[in-house]
C-alpha cells in the first residue's frame, strides 16, 4: 500500500494495526489531519488469524463494556456483529458460570455477551477504520525506530517488506505494538527514562479448538465459563461463534500442562466443574486442529510515574498493560483507552498530551489490573505484593462467589464488574454485603 508524503504537523503515526492500534487511529482521526497505521504483517483478505497476533487463534471474550464502547466509536457496530452472524445472549441467563466450583444462579442480567471470534472482531474494526477518509492502513511495513528532535518525537523510521528504509515525519506517535513493543529500548536509546514495571507471573497455558455447532448444543445457551481458583488452577470456556462454530478453550495456570489430543483434552475437561466442554469434545465434529499458547505474566508499565516524557510519544494496549487473558479484558481496555485519547485530544493542548494521557490511563487501568491480579494473587503460588487487608477481602469474595450460586443478584453484581460495567468497589455495597451474610442451604 502507498503512503502519502506528510509534514509532521497534523500527522499522527500508529505502530501496529491490531485492535489497540486500529482503535487509537479511530480516536486520532477526529483531531489529526491524517493518521497512518504501520503494520508489519500483511492484513489478510479473509477473516483469519495472522502471524503478528498469535493469540488470535485463541478464544477471545468481548466484554459488555467493550461492545458498548465499540458501538460508540463505530455507530452500528453491535447490529453489524449480529448481521455478520455473531451469536449473542444475556451474560447470566444464557451463560453458565462456575465460580470457585459453584454454579452461578441464572437470571436476566441485562449484560449482553457476544460469541465473536478474535479475527472477526479485528476484521470488523479494521474495515471501519479503513473507511475513515483521513486514515491510511499500511501493512507489510515495520517501524524500526523513532525520530526525536528537541525533546519531542518527530516521526518514525520504517522498513518496507522489500527492505527499503524510509523516515516518516509525525507530530504524534502511538506505540500499539503489543507485548513485543520496543518502546522502552527506543526511549533508552534516545536518553529518556523508562518506567517501572510490575509483573504478576501466572504461567497461563491456553488450548483452543473449534467445532461444528450441532442441534441441541449447550441446551440453547450461548456458552459456559469455568473460572480457576486456588486448588483448581484449571479453566474452561465453551462459546458459540459466528459461522456456525463453537469454540472450546481449556486453560491451566501455574505449570498445568495442557493436552492437544482428543483423549487428553476430554480427560482434562472432565476435571472441570462444568461438563459442557467435555460434552462438546466427546460429541462434536472438529473443524480445525487444537492450538496451544503460553502467556507467562501480566505486565503493567508505570509511565504515569515518569517526571520527564518524550513529548508526543504514547504507548497503548498490551504494550502499556497486558492482563492474564482468563479475564478477557485486553480488547475492552483498548476501547477505553481510545475513548480516553479522543477526549483528551478534544479537551486540551497536544503539547502536554503524553503526561496527561499516561496519568489518565493509569486511573483507567487501576480497576481491570486490580481485578485480574487480585484473582491471580489468591493463588498462594503466585508471587506479588499482597496488601494487609487482602485476607479479609478474599474471605468476603469467597463467600460472595459461593452465595452467587443461590442469589442471582450477587451473580449479576459480579458479572457487571467482570464486564467492566461497574467498578470493583461496587461489590462492597451494604446491600451486597448483607446478601453474602444470609445463611446458605447446605
Ligand atoms: C492467549 C490470549 C487470550 C486473550 N484473550 C482475550 C480475551 O478473551 N478478550 C480480550 O479482550 N483480550 C484478550 N486477550 C488480549 C488481546 O488479544 C489484546 O489485548 C488485544 O489484541 C490488544 O492488543 P494490542 O493491539 O495492544 O497488541 P497485539 O494484538 O499484540 O498487536 C500488536 C500488533 O503490532 C504489530 N507490530 C508489532 N511490532 C511492530 C512494529 N515494530 N512495526 C509495525 N507493526 C508492529 C504486530 O504485528 C501486531 O499486529 C488475549 C491475549 C492472549 C495472549
Q: Over the stretch 371-408, which tens digit does the pLDDT of each residue have?
A: 999 999 999 999 988 888 888 999 999 999 999 999 99
Which residue has a Cα nearest atom 9 of ligand 1? 328
The SS3 of residue 155 is: strand
Which atom of ligand 1 lies at the shortest distance from residue 330's CA? 19
**What is the structure's pLDDT at 7?**
77
Which atom of ligand 1 lies at the shortest distance from residue 329's CA? 11
pLDDT digits (tens, 9 = 90+) for 203-223: 999 999 999 999 889 999 999
Does the beta carbon of 330 lie inside 6 Å of ligand 1?
A: yes
Does the beta carbon of 224 lie inside 6 Å of ligand 1?
A: no
Does the beta carbon of 50 lie inside 6 Å of ligand 1?
A: no
Per CATH, 11-57+122-196+302-374 and 201-295 having the same topology is answered: no
**What is the structure's pLDDT at 387?**
83
Which atom of ligand 1 lies at the shortest distance from residue 204's CA? 1
DSSP code for 232? B
Which residue has a Cα nearest atom 30 of ligand 1? 178
Q: What is the rounded CA–CA span in Å between residue 137 and residue 126? A: 9
CB 24 within 8 A of CB 35: no
The SS3 of residue 60 is: coil
Does the beta carbon of 298 lie inside 6 Å of ligand 1?
A: no
CB 203 within 8 A of CB 254: yes
Using most ligand atoms within 8 A of CB, pick from 3, 13, 14, 19 the residue to mutate for ligand 1.
19
CB 201 within 8 A of CB 238: no
Would you write out the chain's pLDDT as a tens digit for each of its 442 residues? 445 567 777 999 999 999 999 999 999 999 999 999 999 999 998 898 888 899 999 999 999 999 999 999 999 999 999 999 999 999 999 999 999 999 999 999 999 999 999 999 999 999 999 999 999 999 999 999 999 999 999 999 999 999 999 999 999 999 999 999 999 999 999 999 999 999 999 999 999 999 999 988 999 999 999 999 999 999 999 999 999 999 999 999 998 999 999 999 999 999 999 999 999 999 999 999 999 999 999 999 999 999 999 999 999 999 999 999 999 999 999 999 999 999 999 997 898 999 999 999 999 999 999 999 999 999 999 998 888 888 899 999 999 999 999 999 999 999 999 999 999 999 999 999 999 998 876 5
**What is the structure's pLDDT at 439?**
81
**What is the structure's pLDDT at 2?**
40
**What is the structure's pLDDT at 441?**
62
Does the beta carbon of 294 lie inside 6 Å of ligand 1?
A: no
- Output the CA 403–ligand 1 centroid distance in Å: 36
Which atom of ligand 1 lies at the shortest distance from residue 20's CA? 25
Cα dihedral 261, 263, 265, 267, rounded to 10, equals -150
State the architecture of 201-295 in CATH terms.
2-Layer Sandwich (3.30)
The SS3 of residue 104 is: coil
**What is the structure's pLDDT at 215?**
87
CB 267 within 8 A of CB 259: yes
Which atom of ligand 1 lies at the shortest distance from residue 52's CA? 47
DSSP code for 247? E
Alpha helix segments (H runs only) across 203-329: 262-270, 276-283
Phi, psi of 406 (to 5 degrees): -115, -20
CB 179 within 8 A of CB 322: yes
CB 320 within 8 A of CB 303: yes
Which atom of ligand 1 lies at the shortest distance from residue 118's CA? 17
Which residue has a Cα nearest atom 4 of ligand 1? 325
Domain boundaries, the chain: 11-57+122-196+302-374, 201-295, 390-437
- Output the CA 149–ligand 1 centroid distance in Å: 30
Place of cell 467498578: 423
Does the beta carbon of 206 lie inside 6 Å of ligand 1?
A: yes
pLDDT digits (tens, 9 = 90+) for 291-342: 999 999 999 999 999 999 999 999 999 999 999 999 999 999 999 999 999 9
**What is the structure's pLDDT at 405?**
97
**What is the structure's pLDDT at 5?**
62
- Output the CA 57–ligand 1 centroid distance in Å: 11
Using most ligand atoms within 8 A of CB, pick from 43, 51, 53 the residue to mutate for ligand 1.
53
Phi, psi of 195 (to 5 degrees): -80, 160
Cell triple for residue 355?
Answer: 503526561
Q: What is the rounded CA–CA span in Å between residue 391 and residue 374? A: 11
CB 109 within 8 A of CB 415: yes
Using most ligand atoms within 8 A of CB, pick from 41, 55, 146, 174 the residue to mutate for ligand 1.
55
Class of domain 11-57+122-196+302-374 (CATH, top level): alpha beta
Does the beta carbon of 58 lie inside 6 Å of ligand 1?
A: yes
- Output the CA 53–ligand 1 centroid distance in Å: 6
Which residue has a Cα nearest atom 25 of ligand 1? 20
Alpha helix segments (H runs only) across 300-379: 330-347, 353-376
Does the beta carbon of 125 lie inside 6 Å of ligand 1?
A: no
Using most ligand atoms within 8 A of CB, pick from 38, 52, 241 the residue to mutate for ligand 1.
52
Amino acid at each position: 500500500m502507498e503512503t502519502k508524503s506528510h509534514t509532521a504537523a497534523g500527522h499522527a503515526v500508529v505502530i501496529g494495526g491490531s485492535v489497540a492500534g486500529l482503535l487509537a487511529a479511530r480516536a486520532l482521526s477526529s483531531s489529526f489531519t491524517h493518521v497512518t497505521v504501520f503494520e508489519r504483517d500483511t492484513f489478510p483478505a479473509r477473516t483469519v488469524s495472522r502471524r503478528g497476533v498469535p493469540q488470535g487463534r485463541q478464544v477471545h471474550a468481548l466484554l459488555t463494556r467493550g461492545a458498548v464502547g465499540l458501538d460508540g466509536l463505530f455507530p452500528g457496530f453491535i447490529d453489524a456483529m449480529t448481521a455478520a452472524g455473531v451469536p449473542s445472549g444475556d451474560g447470566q441467563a444464557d451463560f453458565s458460570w462456575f465460580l470457585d466450583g459453584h454454579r452461578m444462579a441464572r437470571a436476566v442480567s441485562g449484560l449482553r455477551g457476544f460469541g465473536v471470534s478474535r479475527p472477526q472482531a479485528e476484521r470488523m474494526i479494521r474495515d471501519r477504520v479503513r473507511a475513515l477518509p483521513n486514515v491510511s492502513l499500511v501493512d507489510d511495513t515495520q517501524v524500526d525506530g523513532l525520530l526525536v528532535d528537541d525533546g519531542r518525537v518527530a516521526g518514525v523510521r520504517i522498513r518496507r517488506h522489500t527492505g527499503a528504509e524510509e523516515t516518516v515525519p509525525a507530530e504524534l506517535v502511538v506505540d500499539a505494538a503489543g507485548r513485543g513493543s520496543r518502546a522502552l529500548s527506543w526511549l533508552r536509546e534516545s536518553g529518556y527514562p523508562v518506567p517501572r514495571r510490575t509483573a504478576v507471573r501466572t504461567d497461563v497455558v491456553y488450548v483452543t479448538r473449534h467445532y461444528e455447532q450441532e442441534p441441541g448444543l449447550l441446551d440453547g445457551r450461548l456458552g459456559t465459563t469455568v473460572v480457576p481458583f486456588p486448588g483448581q488452577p484449571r479453566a474452561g470456556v465453551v462459546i458459540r461463534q459466528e459461522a456456525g462454530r463453537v469454540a472450546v478453550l481449556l486453560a491451566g495456570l501455574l505449570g498445568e500442562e495442557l493436552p492437544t489430543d482428543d483423549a487428553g483434552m476430554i480427560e482434562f475437561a472432565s476435571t472441570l466443574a462444568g461438563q459442557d466442554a467435555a460434552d462438546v469434545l466427546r460429541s462434536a465434529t472438529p473443524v480445525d486442529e487444537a492450538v496451544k499458547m503460553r502467556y507467562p505474566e501480566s505486565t503493567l508499565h508505570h509511565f504515569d510515574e515518569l517526571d520527564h516524557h518524550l513529548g508526543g510519544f504514547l504507548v497503548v494496549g498490551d504494550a502499556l498493560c497486558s492482563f492474564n487473558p482468563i479475564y478477557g479484558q485486553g480488547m475492552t481496555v483498548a476501547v477505553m483507552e481510545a475513548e480516553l485519547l479522543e477526549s483528551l485530544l478534544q479537551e486540551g493542548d497536544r503539547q502536554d498530551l503524553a503526561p496527561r494521557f499516561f496519568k489518565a490511563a493509569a486511573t483507567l487501568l487501576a480497576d481491570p489490573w486490580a481485578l485480574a491480579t487480585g484473582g491471580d494473587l489468591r493463588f498462594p503460588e503466585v508471587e506479588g505484593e499482597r496488601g494487609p487487608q487482602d485476607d479479609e477481602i478474599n474471605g468476603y469474595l469467597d463467600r460472595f462467589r459461593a452465595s452467587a450460586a443461590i442469589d442471582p443478584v450477587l451473580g449479576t453484581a459480579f458479572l457487571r464488574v467482570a464486564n467492566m460495567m461497574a467498578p470493583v468497589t461496587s461489590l462492597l455495597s451494604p446491600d451486597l454485603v448483607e446478601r453474602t451474610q444470609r445463611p446458605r442451604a447446605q
